[in-house]
Amino acid sequence: MDFGLCAYGIPWTAGFAGHGTPRANPRPLDTVGLLDLASRLGLGGVELPPSGLPADTAPPVATDLRRRAEHLGLTLVIAGGRVAEGTLGADLAFAAAAGARVVRCTLSGILCGDRRALGRAGWEELLRAATATLKAAAPQARDLGLSIAVENHQDATSADLLRLCEEAGDPVGVNLDTGNPLAVAEDPVEFARRILPVLRNVHLKDYRIIRSEVGFRLAHCAIGAGVVNYAALFALFRTRPAVTLNLEMAALGERHIKVLEDAWWAGYPPREASSLLPFFRIWHEREETAAWQTPWDSGADAQLTAWEMDRLAESVTRIAELRAGIAGPAGARA
């Protein structure tokens, strides 16, 4: 299949959830196991960090990773760190040696669209610093034949990313996480349409929207079983055939978007009310009052391996059907 698996989309199985704590998975996959899992599922690639998975006894060697991926018929995307961490140059060199075409990176650790700790001025300064770093890294990426894909990691709006890409220049583009626009009060399809000219990599993610007193929670679900309109997204993606796609199911922990608190908006510039309508329509039409906890949230760790693998298998099936244009009545809404 022409989509792959992102290691961060199976955080329990890959050993990220609870790593270094008593709640850590006692039998996580290592990098070899991750590639083998993607191959068994019939997927086309893997996205993983250059440091490997927590279960690895040593970081993967790029040339060994390349050989194993090629043997299994898998493409690679390298999931780098935050731009401010200063590892982008090393991530690019590793990606080139591993035979990858894309290095994904993030801007911040902000989640749930909640920028109040930085405020608007702090966020603007973060964007300026990231733009300068990405602009300096762009020549290295060009020389290596790589793209840099900056993710909307529940922090950046489409306007932020478009400005960053324009100022940093090619080959800096966007890693679209299809579920994360909801966390910054944007419609995923409208977000994708705006950033489409600079789209480099996609994380296929979905959410249900669960009502709360101060906004809503984004609840974990199989990809294609939530509110994201994949029929419309795939119509857009077909115009960008070189873009890589990877399944990245939602994180296991709570994602509470507190848009009804005045302070939540402190990190954002003013927006035209009409620009928010596509997002508010999704919220209004698809909001539920239902349980939102994953087994991780409820402390049922013993259930997590089977639960996560069941969700992954369902996601693979749903996305394969949607890609083939034969989604059943339980698929994404058109």
Full-model pTM = 0.95
Report pLDDT for 1. 83
Report pLDDT for 325. 79
Cβ–Cβ contacts within 10 Å for residue 20, how many?
A: 7
- Can you tell me the mean pLDDT for 211-227? 97
pLDDT of residue 148 exceeding 80: yes
Chain center to CA of 248: 6
Confidence label for 205 from pLDDT (cuts 50, 70 and 90): very high
Per CATH, the number for 4-324 is 3.20.20.150
CA-based nearest residue to 182, from 158, 146, 213, 147: 158
Q: DSSP string of 272-325?
A: -HHHHHHHHHHHHHHEE-S----TTTTT-GGGHHHHHHHHHHHHHHHHHHHHHT
CB 256 within 8 A of CB 210: no
CA-based nearest residue to 74, from 174, 2, 157, 172: 2
Confidence label for 82 from pLDDT (cuts 50, 70 and 90): very high
Report pLDDT for 76. 98
The residue assigned the tokens 């306007």 is 159
- Can you tell me the mean pLDDT for 118-147? 98
CB 200 within 8 A of CB 168: no
- 3-state helix, strand and coil shares in percent for the chain, rounded to the nearest 5: 45, 15, 40
pLDDT of residue 327 exceeding 70: no
CB 106 within 8 A of CB 133: no
In the chain, what are the domain boundaries? 4-324
Confidence label for 329 from pLDDT (cuts 50, 70 and 90): very low
pLDDT of residue 232 exceeding 70: yes
Report pLDDT for 332. 36
pLDDT of residue 105 exceeding 70: yes
Confidence label for 324 from pLDDT (cuts 50, 70 and 90): confident
Confidence label for 79 from pLDDT (cuts 50, 70 and 90): very high
- How is residue 18 annotated by DSSP? T
Distances (CA, A) of 278 to 71, 152, 255, 275, 310: 44, 18, 21, 7, 32
Query: How many angstroms separate the most distant Cα atoms in the chain?
Result: 53
Output the average pLDDT for the chain: 95
- Can you tell me the mean pLDDT for 256-282? 96
On the question of a cis peptide bond just before residue 171, with omega within 30 degrees of 0, the verdict is yes
φ, ψ of residue 31 to 5 degrees: the values are -60, -40
Structure tokens at 324: 């083939």
pLDDT of residue 331 exceeding 60: no
Confidence label for 323 from pLDDT (cuts 50, 70 and 90): confident
Round to whole Å and give the CA distance between 283 and 288. Answer: 9
Q: DSSP string of 113-176?
A: T--TTTHHHHHHHHHHHHHHHHHHHHHHHHHHT-EEEEE--SS--HHHHHHHHHHH-TTEEEEE
The more confidently predicted of residues 328 and 126 is 126
The residue assigned the tokens 């068994």 is 40
